[in-house]
Chain A
Amino acid sequence: MILKKLKSQFGFPALFLILISCNDPAESPALYSNGVFISCEGTFNASNASVSFYSYATDSLYNNIFKTANSRSLGDVAQSITVYENMAFIVVNNSNKIEVVNASDFREIATITEVSSPRYLVISNDKAYVSCWGDHSIAIIDLKSYEVIKRIPAGIGPEKMIVYDNKLFVANTNAYDYTLDDSTLTIIDMNRDELLTNINIGAYNPVDLELDRLGNLWVLCRGRMNWDSFDQTPSYLVKVNPEDLKVLASYELFADAHPANLSINPDRDRLLYGIFFLRSGIFEVSVDDPGQGELFLDIFPYGFDIHQEKGELFVTHAAADFVSNGTLERYSPEGNLLESYTSGINGNGIAVTIAE
């Protein structure tokens, strides 16, 4: 349309200039490398989840790359994305599936079914471990057959996971039901794929975990948020020794605010937490001098993560109406905004990957 208008007003020379100088940002690169994937939830029950790709090479964000590569919708609520070797695993929560694609061109490889309301995925020893809200379990998937080979019961609403010394630590938050609480971590022996133990860490609703440079496990606990009774308990940052599974310390964050996301910098000495329901801000905590921490960025993000090589902070924002395209922001390690891009709807999961 624009080309037609230009042609009608300025003739062919203008059209020619446009054609030779135009670099259409919507056109995806042939191969996805040296960049960051962002899973975008889409709108609940609308099957319009998507994946965006930020390319360092072109400093551009390419949206909807799954549909572009495969001519079909990704599904309903893309919760997270994990990259392993040359594959990307997109966990599609409300579609009860995991789409496996070639991470270079995003062409489909397989669809993993038999997972009920999956949330996050980690990979070790050619097996994927998927936290599932539907049956409160960890589903173990063989990456040769893409089939579920075992399910291990977890706590209420297993959420994010982390691997330490062939042990899988699972944060059990309270899933859909905020009238239920859990304050445990489930620990799975990954050699035998069996439940090792559940430990109570003394704070409600563990939701995210990180390992610091000294090998301590940091667990972000949202606290209780019962919207029926308006009953709340404080959110905590809990330090756990992953060897003997003892709680080393607990730090109260907020009495009435409940963060859901924890990230660590490449040096593994500085934690960022945020994503509140009714509060803005990303907060910064030193692992050496913990406490409530300090406000790092006064923004209202929907998701964030730190690039583990460059230290840059990738932040996603949902649109005001939650049904329109969102925004991706890239910050320097010091918290300076570098660039902003239009992303898919409700960007959430961030897979920092493939620095080639």
Chain B
Amino acid sequence: MELNLKRKVCSVIMVLFSVLVVKADITDTLHAIPELEIQASRLNYYLIGASVQKIDSITLSNYEILSLAELLNQKSSLAVNSYGPGGLAGISIRGGAAHHASVIWNGINIQSPMHGGVNFSTLPVCFVDEAQIQYGGASTLFGSGNATGSLHMAENLVFNHGIQGEISGFGGSAGNFIQSGRILISKKSWVSSLKFFTQQNKNNFRFQNTEKINKPYERLQHAGYKQLGIAQANKMMIGKHAWIGTNVWLLDFHKDLPVLMSDNGTSEVTQNDRNIMYSAYYRYAVNRLQFKFQTGGFYNEVVYHDPELELSNNNHSFSLINIAELTSTFFHQVDIGIILEQKHEKARSGSYQEPVTRNILSPILSLRYHRKPIVTSLNIRKEFVDGKFIPLVFSAGLDLTLIKGFSLKSQISKNYSLPTMNDLYWENDGQVTGNPDLLPETGWSYEGGLYFEQDNNNTMIHSSLVLFHNQISDWIRWVQDSNKIWIPLNLKKGRSRGIEAVAGIRSNLQPFKYVLDARYSFTRAVSLEAGETQMTDGDQLLYVPKHKVNLTLGWGFGSIYMEYSQIFVSERTFDNAQGTLEPYTLGNVLLKSGLPLKSIDLEFYFSASNIWNTRYQVKHAYAMPLRQFMGGIKILFK
């Protein structure tokens, strides 16, 4: 009976897509949205020589129902450490910790001042118009925390595109339902966008419990999540040379936390993440002069509740950031940027004696010289934290065009990462205490690579081979002191070295389209001078895979697009006793098609994840789903 039902469903899908092949038109979202304005200008303008991966608008559109955690795992070399679908997810760039990777939203750093991390499961891809991953340290330009890389995401509002609207609904395995929509009013001199996203996922997927006797098949219990998000953005021209803009995201995420695979019983623990991010800016640009003033904020509330233990933790943090940037060009070849950043951080928690604050003032000087075949830059940053000086940091980069299409890029940077509020201010409760005497972590980052890029009208080919080396000293680590009280200390030195290789082709030979994107990263991330820990010097750092491979193969015909992606993640160490998680490989399939009608366009979506039914763990003893399906429809109003 069940088999018959599956056959029927498959038949319906096949027929539906066959019809669409005949009817479809060759346009719309299979083309990339042109890059009209890069919000993260510092990244693209002054960070010369660094390896930057742009996740193009097609990919963002194809994977709009995912969280950023899921997308980054599939499409980048980052190690995404997630406690299962919807679970807490942090990123590791080039072997660094989560707090070594800055997360820049519309120019505003949204790392939590309390712990330095960002939960990527709470960030929906459909709110993001541009996403770029910058590999390597860049504290000079993006401040504390950017010791191994950064993720930049932004909304991109384009003038003069008329009025557009869309609404979508998706449903799939394990009780996963998503609804989203957007209204865009784009006039000649102003544009406004409103997006919403809701998700209800029971997340009660079936999995083989390899941590229990006889390895039974079970359904995950108490792991559901609900999400509601609203994104609103505006941009308006003021005269010929200036414009203003605003961005706001409101995100509410409720998650039931499951028990470990090895545990019996069920959990009643829940976690609520509430985020508010806002930004307002003024930009002025004439021929050789650009000025930007931006103010923004990030509010994060995390409520953890364990009814069984009658435990409730309520943590609030707020960052207010003001940025003034002045860029001027001299002699057509030299750009000088003067940037002043001011940041006020505030955090409140039951674990602190009282609300704590921190004020940071950072002047930055950037120089960029460009004369064919060379582009080079030098950036210097001095930071004052509550009136104290942080040693000067700098970065220098080179981009040398060797012959047409081939270039050599290299970057060196000195970086730092301030202790988090938890590190500094956790109140001594007899078991745990903060340490106000902590020093910032400091480090060096070097990289060099050979890049090839060729772009003609129909086909774009790109490839690169990059070698990198990062070192972090005074790494802050929580240990127990002689009184058995947990305390953070500047203990460890960490080093990561590795290779990143990328090859990609994107071809648009109407009516056919072909996509190939292959990425390989080798990361040897080790602890040095492990201090009081017994971790042996030279051991691979926890949850950093040595090898990661991402492969994407796409094929399009008309408005039909199919994509197969495969990732491979090698063995990872999950504790200092050298417990390891087995390597895994996952295959995912995406099928998308458009059907233009008179007043609306329809888009059909189908995906299958983990199609080879791989048993795997990302975090030790946290269940991950076997094969899952998702289908949906989007209506685009013209």
User: A320 and B534 in contact (CB under 8 A), knowing A72-B215, A227-B431?
Assistant: yes
Judge whether B621 and A325 touch: CB under 8 Å: no
Q: Which of B213, B262, B309, B535 contacts A108 (CB 8 A)?
A: B213
Judge whether A321 and B479 touch: CB under 8 Å: yes
B residues less than 8 Å from A46 (CB atoms): 574-575, 620-621
> Quick one: CB contact mask for B202-236 with A, threshold 8 Å, 1 for yes?
00000000111101000000000000000000000
Judge whether B264 and A113 touch: CB under 8 Å: yes
Judge whether B262 and A321 touch: CB under 8 Å: no
B residues less than 8 Å from A325 (CB atoms): 534, 576-577
CA distance A45 to B533 in the complex (A): 19
> Quick one: CB contact mask for B396-425 with A, threshold 8 Å, 1 for yes?
000000000000000000000000000000
User: A47 and B480 in contact (CB under 8 A), knowing A111-B212, A227-B429?
Assistant: no
> Would you give the shortest CB distance from A99 to chain B, in whole angstroms?
8
> Quick one: CB contact mask for B449-485 with A, threshold 8 Å, 1 for yes?
0000000000000000000000000000111101110
A345 sits at the interface (CB 8 A): yes
Judge whether B574 and A321 touch: CB under 8 Å: no
CA distance A344 to B260 in the complex (A): 20
Stretch among A90-98, A194-202, A244-252 lining the B interface = A90-98
CA distance A108 to B533 in the complex (A): 33
Q: Which of B213, B260, B532 contacts A76 (CB 8 A)?
A: B260
A residues less than 8 Å from B535 (CB atoms): 324
Judge whether B621 and A73 touch: CB under 8 Å: yes
User: A95 and B260 in contact (CB under 8 A), knowing A116-B265, A321-B479?
Assistant: yes
Q: Which of A70, A75, A176 contacts B263 (CB 8 A)?
A: A75
A residues less than 8 Å from B210 (CB atoms): 71-72
B residues less than 8 Å from A92 (CB atoms): 262
Chain A residues 41 to 58 lying within 8 A of chain B, measured CB to CB, are: 42-43, 45-48, 50
User: A48 and B577 in contact (CB under 8 A), knowing A76-B260, A176-B309, A227-B430?
Assistant: yes
B residues less than 8 Å from A72 (CB atoms): 210-213, 215, 262
Residue of A71, A96, A320 contacting most chain B CB atoms (<10 Å): A320
A16 sits at the interface (CB 8 A): no
Judge whether B533 and A321 touch: CB under 8 Å: yes
Judge whether A323 and B576 touch: CB under 8 Å: yes
> Quick one: CB contact mask for A208-240 with B, threshold 8 Å, 1 for yes?
000000000000000000010000000000000
B553 sits at the interface (CB 8 A): no
User: A324 and B260 in contact (CB under 8 A), knowing A46-B620, A72-B210, A227-B431?
Assistant: no
Number of interface residues of B (CB under 8 A): 33
Judge whether B261 and A47 touch: CB under 8 Å: yes
CA distance A72 to B479 in the complex (A): 28
B residues less than 8 Å from A108 (CB atoms): 213
Residues of B contacting A: mostly: loop
Residue of A74, A97, A114, A227 contacting most chain B CB atoms (<10 Å): A97
CA distance A322 to B487 in the complex (A): 12
A2 sits at the interface (CB 8 A): no
Judge whether A345 and B263 touch: CB under 8 Å: no
User: A321 and B477 in contact (CB under 8 A), knowing A75-B263, A95-B260, A116-B265?
Assistant: yes
Q: Which of A96, A110, A176, A321 contacts B478 (CB 8 A)?
A: A321
CA distance A324 to B479 in the complex (A): 10
From A110, which residue of chain B is reached at the shortest CB distance?
Answer: B213
> Would you give the shortest CB distance from B140 to chain A, in whole angstroms?
32
B373 sits at the interface (CB 8 A): no
Judge whether A319 and B429 touch: CB under 8 Å: no
A254 sits at the interface (CB 8 A): no
Judge whether B262 and A319 touch: CB under 8 Å: no
B436 sits at the interface (CB 8 A): no
Judge whether B211 and A47 touch: CB under 8 Å: yes
Judge whether A324 and B577 touch: CB under 8 Å: yes
Judge whether A95 and B263 touch: CB under 8 Å: yes
From B578, which residue of chain A is reached at the shortest CB distance?
Answer: A325
Judge whether A73 and B533 touch: CB under 8 Å: no
CA distance A300 to B264 in the complex (A): 33
A277 sits at the interface (CB 8 A): yes
B residues less than 8 Å from A345 (CB atoms): 575-577
Chain A residues 67 to 114 lying within 8 A of chain B, measured CB to CB, are: 70-76, 92, 94-97, 99, 108, 110-111, 113-114
A residues less than 8 Å from B482 (CB atoms): 300
User: A320 and B577 in contact (CB under 8 A), knowing A227-B430, A325-B534?
Assistant: no
> Would you give the shortest CB distance from A115 to chain B, in whole angstroms?
8
> Would you give the shortest CB distance from B357 to chain A, in whole angstroms?
26
User: A47 and B260 in contact (CB under 8 A), knowing A73-B620, A227-B429?
Assistant: yes
CA distance A290 to B621 in the complex (A): 48
A278 sits at the interface (CB 8 A): yes
A residues less than 8 Å from B264 (CB atoms): 95-97, 111, 113-114
Judge whether B533 and A324 touch: CB under 8 Å: yes
Judge whether A324 and B309 touch: CB under 8 Å: no
B307 sits at the interface (CB 8 A): no
From B430, which residue of chain A is reached at the shortest CB distance?
Answer: A227
CA distance A45 to B263 in the complex (A): 10
B511 sits at the interface (CB 8 A): no
Judge whether B533 and A319 touch: CB under 8 Å: yes
> Quick one: CB contact mask for B533-554 with A, threshold 8 Å, 1 for yes?
1110000000000000000000
B residues less than 8 Å from A113 (CB atoms): 264-265
Judge whether A319 and B576 touch: CB under 8 Å: yes
CA distance A50 to B430 in the complex (A): 28
User: A47 and B262 in contact (CB under 8 A), knowing A320-B479, A325-B576?
Assistant: yes
Judge whether B575 and A45 touch: CB under 8 Å: no
A residues less than 8 Å from B576 (CB atoms): 319, 321, 323-325, 345
User: A321 and B480 in contact (CB under 8 A), knowing A43-B575, A73-B620, A113-B264?
Assistant: yes
Judge whether A111 and B577 touch: CB under 8 Å: no
CA distance A64 to B532 in the complex (A): 23
B579 sits at the interface (CB 8 A): yes
Judge whether A74 and B262 touch: CB under 8 Å: yes
> Quick one: CB contact mask for A299-340 with B, threshold 8 Å, 1 for yes?
010000000000000000011111111000000000000000
A interface vs B, CB < 8 Å?
Answer: 42-43, 45-48, 50, 63-64, 70-76, 92, 94-97, 99, 108, 110-111, 113-114, 116, 176, 227, 277-278, 300, 318-325, 342, 344-345
* 7 extra A-B contacts, CB within 8 A, seeds A75-B211, A95-B263, A319-B533: A43-B575, A73-B261, A75-B263, A108-B213, A321-B534, A324-B533, A345-B575
B interface vs A, CB < 8 Å?
Answer: 210-213, 215, 260-265, 309, 429-431, 477-480, 482-484, 532-535, 574-577, 579, 620-621
A–B pairs, 29, beta carbons within 8 Å:
A42-B575, A43-B575, A48-B574, A48-B575, A63-B577, A71-B210, A72-B213, A72-B215, A73-B262, A73-B621, A94-B263, A95-B260, A95-B263, A96-B264, A111-B212, A111-B264, A227-B429, A227-B431, A278-B484, A318-B480, A319-B533, A319-B576, A320-B479, A321-B532, A321-B576, A322-B479, A323-B575, A324-B576, A325-B534
The 7 closest A-B CB pairs, nearest first, are A47-B621, A324-B576, A324-B534, A227-B430, A75-B262, A320-B532, A95-B263
